[in-house]
């Protein structure tokens, strides 16, 4: 079965994309399997300035998932451009750059620098990271703020812009619509849900950052609900993400209106999860009597 | 590195809350001393990083302490059952040809990886001394494993209920071991003390991990220049003095 999906700037041979922050820049996973198997891959968030990230502990396991508070650790756009991205040129897969910053200006600076990197096919605007004091989620939790930064990003970008939205809001549909109106080429739904875990030995929050982003299977029903709501309200494509760890999960997201999906924390539990899902997906589509990927998209509300 | 279902051959209590498990897996023959495996415990999302204690003829030995629900589930597993492993992972203890003698320092569940390390140094004809620290006599394990190699470990317990009273360094002093080249694994206060006393050797760090393969940046420590190091990928074994505590 043909699994290919055409989205703005992205010719995906299949709808499977490892999510930002769960795949670094591909080097480690390239030692496990051929990255050309992937529809695309989304690199770890890039900021203009290097960021050291948060103190440890940064990770806590939770029922059916995990909390993380890495804090956008990265060596900055210049380093990523020169030292990380050239490695990805050898693979036949579509690379998406996740862009973050402490200020609106920083997002624009990163985009301008990455415009010249041919290996990058599209941007994913991270206005939904819950683990940083400035920027991140703070820029994406009202329709006005989200639209404003989307507009700035679109003006700066020489490539399509997908906006990754936060679930830590009361009305994701209004934000999605505002972002669409501001010119976004697509949406990525959803980032992690802000959570907390307590260390019973100390009685204090387990993570040094106190709060962290919840990912893993625990997030899936929330992500599906949000994709389903937003897909009925916008006309731009949606990349679904949140708790996916099987081809059946992928099909659920397609049914709710996603055109492609990102795989996040499942890469930690099983580093071979993406090729496994790619292999299983045609069988699962056939099992549920779809003759194409397209046919499955949005069935939940059509 | 492989991802593989290993077959449990044995799973036995060897000290208070400390269990030894033998697993049949091809990973055994790939593992170097001080490396670790990531264990998928059924019902839990993240894998558990556990150090390789010993290997031989396709059998991997691990020793784990019951720290939470995941390791508690492991205690209920029986021979014949399968456990999914990923490994071997990380940088282990190097086996250096130019050293005549090595002192292995272990604290609590930091002791297990020193067994395979001892075997490899003995196989190279080196002098191997071992000093082990525990909280209490009920926590002591693996003396017999080292004795089978012809090594009599110097032992210390914090309450003096076995060996000398005090830390592993008190055991070293009591035995009069003067070897300057050390390899150590144990709790952070112990590693800090070793970091101050010795300049030549290696320490193995423990950390909460997300991925175990160098991707997620969950287990970061820093060197003196502030460079981020991943315990899972750049470690868990680091040269003494490299990591800032």
Chain A residues touching B215 at Cβ < 8 A: 22-24, 28-29, 267-268
**Phi and psi, residue A188, nearest 5°:** -120, 120
User: Active-site residue A129, yes or no?
Assistant: yes
The reply to whether residue A66 touches residue B210, judged by beta carbons under 8 angstroms, is yes
Residue among A81, A129, A256, A274 flagged as catalytic:
A129
How confident is the model over A181-208, as pLDDT tens digits? 999 999 999 999 999 999 999 999 999 9
The span from the CA of B204 to the CA of A118, in Å, is 41
List the single residue in B with minimal CA-CA distance to A25.
Answer: B215
B37 touches chain A (CB under 8 A): no
Chain B residues touching A73 at Cβ < 8 A: 217, 220, 228
Identify the pLDDT of residue A133.
76
pTM (2 decimals)? 0.95
| Residue of A18, A56, A67 to mutate, interface with B, max B Cβ within 10 Å | A56
Longest alpha-carbon distance in chain B: 49
Torsion of CA A63, A64, A70, A72, to 10 degrees: -140
B65 touches chain A (CB under 8 A): no
Facing residue for B3 by CB, picked from A21, A22, A271: A271
- Tens digit of pLDDT at every position of chain B (245 positions): 999 999 999 999 999 999 999 999 999 999 999 999 999 999 999 999 999 999 999 999 999 999 889 999 999 999 999 999 999 999 999 999 999 999 999 999 999 999 999 999 999 999 999 999 999 999 999 999 999 999 999 999 999 999 999 999 999 999 999 999 999 999 999 999 999 999 999 999 999 999 999 999 999 999 999 999 999 999 999 999 999 98
Find, among A24, A17, A21, the residue nearest to A39 by Cα.
Answer: A17
List the single residue in A with minimal CA-CA distance to B213.
Answer: A28
Identify the pLDDT of residue A134.
78
The reply to whether residue A73 touches residue B216, judged by beta carbons under 8 angstroms, is no
The span from the CA of A191 to the CA of A180, in Å, is 18
Counting one residue from A and one from B, how many pairs have CB atoms under 8 Å apart? Answer: 88
B67 touches chain A (CB under 8 A): no
B115, B146 Cβ separation under 8 angstroms: yes
User: Based on the number of CB atoms within 10 Å of its own CB, is A202 exposed (0-12), middle (13-18) or buried (19 or more)?
Assistant: exposed
| Residue of B37, B40, B68, B211 to mutate, interface with A, max A Cβ within 10 Å | B211
Find, among B209, B44, B197, B191, the residue nearest to B106 by Cα.
Answer: B191
Identify the pLDDT of residue A140.
87
Omega of the bond prior to B21 within 30 degrees of 0, cis? no
Q: How many CB atoms lie within 10 A of CB A83?
A: 11
| Residue of B43, B218, B225, B233 to mutate, interface with A, max A Cβ within 10 Å | B218
Identify the pLDDT of residue A136.
76
Identify the pLDDT of residue A130.
80
Identify the pLDDT of residue B165.
97
A9 touches chain B (CB under 8 A): no
Chain B residues touching A61 at Cβ < 8 A: 44-46, 70
Facing residue for B208 by CB, picked from A53, A57, A272: A57
Chain B residues touching A268 at Cβ < 8 A: 46-47, 210-212, 215-216
Q: Which are the contacts of A193, defined by CB distance < 8 A and separation ≥ 6?
A: A130, A167, A168, A213, A214, A219, A222
The reply to whether residue A61 touches residue B211, judged by beta carbons under 8 angstroms, is no
A197, A205 Cβ separation under 8 angstroms: yes
CA distances from B118 to B33, B34, B124 (A): 9, 11, 10
The span from the CA of B159 to the CA of B155, in Å, is 12
Q: Give B228 to chain A, closest Cα distance, Å.
A: 8
B57 touches chain A (CB under 8 A): no
Q: How many CB atoms lie within 10 A of CB B221?
A: 20
Identify the pLDDT of residue A137.
79
CA distances from A68 to A22, A28, A112 (A): 11, 20, 29
The reply to whether residue B216 touches residue A57, judged by beta carbons under 8 angstroms, is no
Q: What is the DSSP string of chain B?
A: -EEEEEEEEEEEEEETTEEEEEEE-GGGGGPPTT-EEEEE-TT-SSPEEEEEEEEETTEEEEEEE--SHHHHHHHT--TT-EEEEEEEESB-----TT-SEEEEEEEGGGSTHHHHHHHHHHHTT-EEEEEEEESSGGG---HHHHHTTT---EEEETTSSSSEES-HHHHHHHHT----EEEEES-HHHHHHHHHH-SEEEEE-----SSSSSSS-TTEEEBTT--EEETTTT-BEEETTTB--
Distance of alpha carbon A76 from the chain centroid: 19
Q: Are strands A204-205 and A198-199 parallel, antiparallel or unpaired?
A: antiparallel
Q: Give A138 to chain B, closest Cα distance, Å.
A: 23
Q: Which are the contacts of A154, defined by CB distance < 8 A and separation ≥ 6?
A: A161, A182, A183, A184
Identify the pLDDT of residue B170.
97
- Tens digit of pLDDT at every position of chain A (302 positions): 999 999 999 999 999 999 999 999 999 999 999 999 999 999 999 999 999 999 999 999 999 999 999 999 999 999 999 999 999 999 999 999 999 999 999 999 999 999 999 999 999 999 988 877 777 778 889 999 999 999 999 999 999 999 999 999 999 999 999 999 999 999 999 999 999 999 999 999 999 999 999 999 999 999 999 999 999 999 999 999 999 999 999 999 999 999 999 999 999 999 999 999 999 999 999 999 999 999 999 999 99
Find, among B236, B128, B138, the residue nearest to B186 by Cα.
Answer: B236
For chain A, percent of residues with pLDDT exceeding 70: 100
């Amino acid at each position: 079965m043909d699994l290919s999906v055409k989205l703005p700037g992205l010719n995906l041979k299949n709808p499977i994309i490892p999510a930002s922050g769960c795949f670094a820049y591909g080097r480690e996973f390239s030692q496990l399997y051929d990255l050309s198997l992937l529809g695309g891959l989304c690199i770890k968030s890039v900021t203009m300035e290097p960021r050291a990230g948060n103190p440890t502990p940064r990770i806590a396991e939770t029922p059916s998932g995990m909390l993380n508070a890495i804090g956008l650790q990265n060596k900055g756009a210049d380093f990523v451009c020169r030292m990380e991205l050239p490695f990805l040129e050898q693979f036949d897969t579509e690379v998406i750059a996740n862009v973050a910053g402490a200020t609106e200006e920083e997002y624009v600076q990163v985009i301008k620098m990455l415009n010249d990197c041919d290996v990058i096919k599209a941007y994913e605007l991270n206005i939904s990271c819950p683990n940083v004091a400035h920027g991140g989620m703070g820029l994406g939790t009202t329709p006005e703020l989200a639209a404003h930064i989307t507009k700035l990003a679109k003006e700066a970008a020489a490539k399509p812009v997908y906006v990754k939205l936060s679930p830590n809001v009361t009305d994701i549909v209004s934000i999605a619509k505002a972002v669409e109106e501001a010119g976004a080429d697509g949406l990525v739904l959803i980032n992690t849900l802000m959570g907390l875990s307590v260390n019973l030995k100390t009685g204090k929050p387990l993570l040094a950052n106190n709060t962290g982003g919840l990912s893993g299977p625990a997030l899936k029903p929330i992500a599906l609900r949000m994709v389903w709501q937003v897909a009925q309200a916008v006309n731009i494509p949606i990349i679904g993400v949140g708790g996916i760890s099987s081809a059946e999960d992928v099909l659920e997201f397609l049914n709710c209106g996603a055109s492609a999906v990102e795989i996040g924390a499942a890469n930690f539990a099983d580093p071979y999860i993406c090729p496994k899902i790619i292999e299983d997906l045609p069988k699962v589509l056939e099992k549920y009597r779809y003759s194409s990927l397209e046919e499955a998209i949005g069935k939940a509300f059509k | 590195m492989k991802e593989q279902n290993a077959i449990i051959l044995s799973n036995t209590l060897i000290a208070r809350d400390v269990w030894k498990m033998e697993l049949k897996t091809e990973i055994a023959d790939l593992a170097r001393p001080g490396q670790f495996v990531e264990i998928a415990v059924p019902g839990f999302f993240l894998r558990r990083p556990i150090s390789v204690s010993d290997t031989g003829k396709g059998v991997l030995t691990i020793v784990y302490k019951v720290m939470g629900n995941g390791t508690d589930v492991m205690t209920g597993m029986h021979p014949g059952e399968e456990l999914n492993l990923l490994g071997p992972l990380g940088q282990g203890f190097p086996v250096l040809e130019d050293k005549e003698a090595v002192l292995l320092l272990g604290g609590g569940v930091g002791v297990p990886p020193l067994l395979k390390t001892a075997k490899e140094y003995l196989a190279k004809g080196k002098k191997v001394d071992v000093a082990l620290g525990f909280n209490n006599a009920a926590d002591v394990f693996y003396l017999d494993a080292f004795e089978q190699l012809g090594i009599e470990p110097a032992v210390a317990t914090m309450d003096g209920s076995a060996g000398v009273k005090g830390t592993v360094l008190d055991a070293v002093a009591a035995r009069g071991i003067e070897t300057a080249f050390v390899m150590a694994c144990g709790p952070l206060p112990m590693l800090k003390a070793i970091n101050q006393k010795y300049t030549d050797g290696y320490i193995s760090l423990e950390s909460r991990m997300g991925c175990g393969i160098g991707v997620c940046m969950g287990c970061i420590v820093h060197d003196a220049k502030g460079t981020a190091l991943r315990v899972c990928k750049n470690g868990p074994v680091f040269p003494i003095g490299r990591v800032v505590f």
